[in-house]
Every structure is written in C-alpha cells, then in structure tokens.
Amino acid sequence: MSTTQSDRLRALLEPLVAAKGLDLEDVEMSKAGKRRMLRIIVDSDEGVELDACAELSREVSEKLDESDVMGEDEYVLEVSSPGADRPLTEHRHYVRAIGRLVKFQPAEGGELIARILDVDDEGMDLEVPGVKGRKATARRIAFTDIAKARVEIEFNRKDKKEEEA
C-alpha cells in the first residue's frame, strides 16, 4: 500500500474509530487472489466486542464507498481486534497487558518471560516466575531496553474474577 493511500485511509478512518472509543492500531492492505484485502485493526483498554467490530465495519464500508480512497478495484474489508499474540509496541499495549505473561527480547539479547505488574512512563515492573520450585523475583525493565515483546498465551491461568471468587 502506498504511503499516500495509507495516509488517506488513516485520515478517513481515525475519526470513525475514535468516535467508537477505540484506537486505530493498524491498517493493512494485501492481495487476496484477484482482490485486495483491507484489514483494519482496532483495540481499546476494555478490549473489542464482536458487535463493535461489525458496527464499525458497516460504517467504514459506507465511508469508503463515499470516497475514492480505495479506487475502483474490488476489495474485501475486515475489521478486527489485534489478537492475543500481537507485538507490544506502544505504551498503551503494555498498560493493557498488566497481569499478563510476556516474552521480552531485551535489546542486549537473550529472552525474558515475566508477568507485567505495573507500567509507568519509563518502563515496567515485572515478576519473573521462579523455576523448579524457586520463588518469583521482581525486576524492572525500561522501554528503551526492549527490542521486542509479545504476550504469551496462558491456557491454564485463572481469570482475575475467578481468583477473587
């Protein structure tokens, strides 16, 4: 997708997405056979419900039909949330991941798997799980020290609501 088209799409979509109380995380254009695929990724602090995606999809479709930003060729529109395994790249992503287990690739190399306990403007406080019966340890990591970060999927972790019950 050309930068100009990407900029025009973002300018068209951001007000619609913001009006729903959502963040526009990404706009992706790709080929799907003979057609193009326009994927719009949205999120919020509370997550995104399927109904919100469907409603936003209808509004985006109408807005795109009114404009010439997509040109005359056919395309498929998809509006979705980012998914559990998306990379954490923005401050708000880390805030939304508080309480979650995250795999970090520190800038100096290696790998760190830890649970995010708190996030501030400079970095975050982590709990590194203990190995083989050892206690968990606390650690601090600055955003500038992170090369990559991604939420780890936990299948056996209890939900906060379950833990409080």
Compute the average pLDDT of residues 10-35: 89
Cα 36 → chain centroid: 23
pLDDT tens-digit map of 116-150: 999 999 999 999 988 888 898 999 999 999 999 99
Predicted structure pTM score: 0.73
Q: Where are the alpha helices (DSSP H) in the chain?
A: 3-19, 50-66, 91-96, 160-164
Contact 9, 48 (CB under 8 A): no
Confidence at 159, pLDDT banded by 50, 70, 90: low
Contact 108, 71 (CB under 8 A): no
Q: What whole-number percentage of the chain has pLDDT above 90?
A: 56
State the average pLDDT for the chain.
87
Does the pLDDT of residue 33 top 90, yes or no?
Answer: no
Q: Residue 31's pLDDT is what?
A: 85
- Which pair of tokens denotes residue 125? 């406080």
Confidence at 158, pLDDT banded by 50, 70, 90: low
- Indicate the pairing of strand 35-43 with strand 75-80: parallel
CA distance 96 to 131: 26
pLDDT tens-digit map of 68-119: 888 888 889 999 988 877 889 999 999 999 999 999 999 999 999 999 999 9
